[in-house]
């Protein structure tokens, strides 16, 4: 654009001109194209017409405090939405006459001279544009763009502070009646002055949408606090889509694991007592029918002040494939300068993972330090890798919660002072 400041990020316009307030003497930058109706001093609140002639002083309240608390975006900041570039030319801080909660409205001017409004209420932002299409009203509803808007609220406003340039006499807004009709994330605002009605259409902007409208992060964006009638409910169609989509994915993953590995509880195969001898002992064979089984071998003994070790081989009858492992059972006790001590490792476990279907048997040989006690072996089988299905489901649930949080929830206590 011709009026672009030329900085690295292109976030602000050069002011069209500046003026010194005749009341306070401070310099004000004006970002409108000179077609404003009134201009309000940013420092003292004095109101001037477009020719620079003094009109009135809006308020004697301290201006800086309200600006810092409610106006987080500076005059001249560029705002882009749906391919249209706007510049913030004015700011109004107001509240309903029946309520004390303030909000800020930023007056936006496009390069073509069109005006819009960005309203920020407790961290919730709505972009408001004039409605040029026909609106049909019936009872407590409005019909616009094949959407039915339901009556929500009626109010009058009080202006606490304003500064910058405005295309109309914004002070007259205090004498108008306002009604809002909602169909989240949209709202229609009806502005009534005597017998004349003017309509505006607002679109709720989520925090990430608002950030995308600025080519450079602004210093501070308030976090959304509490509920807001224009913001879709937590379970609007977007949230339902996220929830439903990931729930379906969880079900599909469950079915995938079930079809591959089945669903089978652990079951006992056999229990044997292996004497302390130096030769291999072949245990009775057993059959595994399900793929990817997990074979668990529990070994115990009644050794005392000694140990016994068992070398175990799992042999597949059909292929001759052999897997080996070792279990050690030991027990020692005694006393020393620190008192009594015990090392009790009589129980040991050995696992063979991802076992294919087939007939198997175990061969066990033992060696000991002279324990002369048998090594008791218990064999059981369970589903291998079933925990992977649980992990997959938990990951999906976690991702669903994360996306839901990012898209639909913001903490009421969190603040943002970073540039992201």
Q: Report the chain's mean pLDDT, rounded to a whole number.
A: 80
> Of 210, 232, 254, which one is at a domain's C-terminal end?
232
The predicted structure's pLDDT at residue 417: 34
Q: What dihedral angle (degrees, nearest 10) is formed by the CA atoms of 349, 354, 357, 363?
A: -40
Domain assignment present for 94: yes
Q: Are strands 54-57 and 196-205 parallel, antiparallel or unpaired?
A: unpaired
Q: How far apart are CA 406 and CA 294, in angstroms?
A: 40
Domain assignment present for 420: no
| Sequence-separated (6 or more) residues with CB below 8 Å from residue 360 | 285, 286, 287, 288, 314, 315, 316, 317
142 and 281 belong to one structural domain:
no
β-partners of residue 333 are 342
**pTM of the predicted model as reported, rounded to 2 decimal places:** 0.56
35 and 155 belong to one structural domain:
yes
Q: Are strands 339-345 and 38-40 parallel, antiparallel or unpaired?
A: unpaired
Number of domains in the chain: 2
218 and 308 belong to one structural domain:
no
- Summarised one tens digit per residue, pLDDT across range 203-219 is 999 888 888 898 777 76
Domain assignment present for 253: no
Domain assignment present for 212: yes
Q: Which of 222, 273, 247 is nearest to 103 (CA)?
A: 222
206 and 58 belong to one structural domain:
yes
β-partners of residue 23 are none
- Summarised one tens digit per residue, pLDDT across range 26-74 is 888 888 877 788 888 888 888 888 666 766 655 444 556 677 788 888 8
SS3 307: strand
Domain assignment present for 167: yes
> Of 232, 248, 282, which one is at a domain's C-terminal end?
232
Q: Which of 117, 108, 103 is nearest to 155 (CA)?
A: 103
Confidence band, pLDDT 50/70/90 cuts, at residue 157: very high
- Summarised one tens digit per residue, pLDDT across range 309-356 is 999 999 999 999 999 999 999 999 999 888 899 999 999 999 998 888
Residue keyed to tokens 């975006």: 73
Q: Are 133 and 12 in contact (CB under 8 A)?
A: no
220 and 274 belong to one structural domain:
no
141 and 217 belong to one structural domain:
yes
| Sequence-separated (6 or more) residues with CB below 8 Å from residue 131 | 144, 188, 199, 200, 201
25 and 157 belong to one structural domain:
yes
Instruction: Express as a percent the part of the chain with pLDDT over 90.
Output: 35
218 and 311 belong to one structural domain:
no
188 and 337 belong to one structural domain:
no
Domain assignment present for 148: yes
What DSSP string describes 161-221?
EEEEEESS-GGGGGGSEEEEEEETTEEEEEEEETTEEEEEEEEEE-HHHHHHTSSS--S--
Q: How far apart are CA 54 and CA 237, in angstroms?
A: 52
333 and 199 belong to one structural domain:
no
Q: Which two tokens stand for residue 127?
A: 């972009």
- pLDDT winner (highest mean) among 145-159, 250-264, 376-390: 145-159
Domain assignment present for 38: yes
Q: How far apart are CA 287 and CA 291, in angstroms?
A: 12
Q: How far apart are CA 171 and CA 174, in angstroms?
A: 6
The predicted structure's pLDDT at residue 62: 52
Contacts 24+ apart (CB under 8 A), 64-68: 66/93, 66/102, 66/160, 66/161, 67/42, 67/91, 67/93, 67/161, 67/163
Which CATH number characterizes residue 326's domain? 2.60.120.380
Q: How far apart are CA 274 and CA 315, in angstroms?
A: 18
Q: Which two tokens stand for residue 145?
A: 């763009």
Which structural domain, as residue segments, surrounds residue 307?
A: 267-384
216 and 288 belong to one structural domain:
no
| Sequence-separated (6 or more) residues with CB below 8 Å from residue 13 | 1, 3, 4, 5, 31, 76, 78, 87
228 and 182 belong to one structural domain:
yes
Domain assignment present for 222: yes
Q: Which of 36, 347, 271, 5 is nearest to 163 (CA)?
A: 36
Confidence band, pLDDT 50/70/90 cuts, at residue 186: very high
Choose the weakest-confidence range: 83-87, 115-119, 406-410.
406-410
Residue 387's φ and ψ, nearest 5 degrees, are -60, -25
């Amino acid at each position: 654009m011709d009026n672009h400041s030329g900085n690295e990020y292109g976030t602000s316009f050069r002011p069209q001109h500046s003026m010194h307030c005749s009341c306070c003497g401070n310099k004000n930058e004006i970002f409108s194209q000179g077609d404003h109706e009134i201009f309000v001093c940013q420092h003292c609140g004095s109101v001037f017409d477009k020719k620079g002639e003094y009109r009135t002083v809006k308020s004697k309240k301290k201006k800086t405090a309200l600006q810092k608390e409610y106006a987080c975006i500076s005059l001249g900041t560029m705002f882009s939405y749906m391919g249209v570039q706007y510049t913030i030319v004015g700011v109004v801080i107001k509240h309903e006459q029946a309520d004390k909660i303030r909000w800020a409205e930023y007056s936006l001017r496009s390069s073509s001279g069109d005006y819009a409004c960005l309203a920020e209420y407790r961290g919730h932002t709505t972009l408001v544009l004039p409605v040029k299409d026909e609106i049909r009203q019936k009872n407590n509803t409005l019909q616009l763009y094949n959407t039915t808007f339901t009556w929500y609220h009626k109010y009058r406003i009080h202006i606490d502070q304003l500064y910058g340039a405005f295309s109309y006499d914004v002070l007259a807004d205090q004498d108008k009646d306002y009604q809002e009709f909602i169909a989240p994330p949209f709202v229609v605002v009806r502005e009534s002055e005597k017998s004349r009605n003017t309509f505006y259409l607002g679109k709720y902007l989520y925090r990430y949408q608002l950030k995308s409208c600025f080519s450079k992060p602004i210093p501070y964006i308030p976090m959304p606090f509490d509920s807001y009638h224009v913001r879709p409910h937590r379970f609007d169609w977007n949230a339902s889509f996220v929830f439903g989509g990931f729930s379906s994915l969880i079900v599909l993953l469950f079915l995938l694991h079930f079809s591959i590995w089945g669903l089978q509880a652990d079951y006992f195969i056999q229990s044997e007592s292996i004497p302390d001898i130096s030769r291999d002992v072949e245990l009775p064979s057993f059959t595994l029918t399900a793929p990817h089984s997990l074979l668990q071998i529990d070994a115990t003994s009644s050794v005392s002040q000694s140990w016994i070790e068992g070398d175990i081989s799992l042999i597949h009858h059909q292929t001759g494939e052999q897997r080996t492992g070792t279990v050690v059972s030991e027990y020692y006790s005694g006393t020393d300068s620190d008192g009594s001590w015990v090392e009790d490792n009589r129980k040991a476990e050995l696992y063979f993972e991802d076992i294919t279907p087939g007939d198997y048997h175990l061969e066990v040989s033992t060696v000991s330090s002279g324990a002369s006690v048998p090594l008791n072996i218990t064999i059981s089988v369970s589903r291998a890798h079933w925990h992977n299905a649980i992990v997959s489901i938990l990951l999906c649930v976690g991702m669903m919660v994360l996306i839901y949080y990012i898209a639909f929830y913001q903490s009421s206590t969190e603040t943002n002072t970073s540039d992201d």
